[in-house]
Amino acid sequence: MIVHPAPRRRSARNVVPPLILGTLGTLGIVALYFLVPGLQPAELVLLLVVVGFVALGYTQGIIRGLMSAAMLYIASGVAATFYEVAAPYIGAPISAIVDRNILALSFGVLTAVIWITLEALGRASFPDTSLPALGILDNLGGLLIYLVIGVLVASLLFNAIGYGQLGRRMHNRALLRPKFNQVLSLHYAAQSFWFPGKPPLIYVYDLNPSRER
C-alpha cells in the first residue's frame, strides 16, 4: 500500500503561512500602539480585523475572494437599504426606542446575516474554487483581495460605531478616521446607483467634514 503525503503537505501550506501572517500582523499592530501616540484601542481592534482577513485570504484564493467581495457588496447594499425598516425588530430585545445606536446595530446585524448566508450558499454551491495551475499566485491573489475586504469591513464597522451615540467620541477622535472615510466614500460611490433618491444617512453622515454631528 502506497501512502501519499501530499494532503499533509497541502494542509501545512494552508496553516503555516496564515499563522505567520497573523503573528507578524499582530506584532506590527502592537508596535503601532507604542509608536503612534493617540491610537485608540478600538482602532487597534479594527486593524486586527484586517489582519485576520489577510491571513484567511491566503487560504481562500482568487475566485473565492472575488465571490466574497461581491457578496459583501450585496450584503452591505441591502443592509443600507433596509436597516431603518428592520431596526425596530432587531432592537426589540434591547430597547423599545429606535435611536441611532439601534440603527447602527441594525445595519451591522443585517450586513453580517446576509453576508454569512450568501457565503454559506456560495461555498455549498462551489466547494472548490482553487486555481491549482497558478500555484502560490492563487494564494497571494486571495490575500490581496481579502486585504481589500478586511479594510472595507473595518471601515464599515468604524462607520457604524460612530453612527451610534455610544461610539461617537472614539470615532471622532480616531487617527484612522480620514482613511476609513476614504474607503467608505469609494464604497458608497460604487453603490450610489442603488440609492437614486436620498442616500442612506449611515453611509454619508461623516463624509462631509463640514457637517455638525
Tens of pLDDT, residues 124-168: 999 999 999 999 999 999 999 999 999 999 999 999 999 988 888
* Amino acid making up residue 92: A
| Residue 14: per-residue pLDDT | 73
What's the sign of the alpha-carbon dihedral 51, 55, 60, 62?
positive
Model confidence at 13, in pLDDT bands (50, 70, 90)? low
Predicted confidence (pLDDT) at residue 209 exceeds the cutoff of 70? no
Residue 191 CB partners (closer than 8 Å, separation 6+): 73, 76, 77, 80, 203
Domain ranges in the chain are 52-204
Q: What is each CA distance from 2 to 5, 6, 10, 185, 203, in whole angstroms?
A: 10, 12, 18, 57, 58
| Residue 102: per-residue pLDDT | 93
Residue 186 CB partners (closer than 8 Å, separation 6+): none
Model confidence at 12, in pLDDT bands (50, 70, 90)? low
- The answer to whether the beta carbons of residues 53 and 147 sit under 8 Å apart is yes
Predicted confidence (pLDDT) at residue 9 exceeds the cutoff of 70? no
Residue bearing cell 481589500: 148
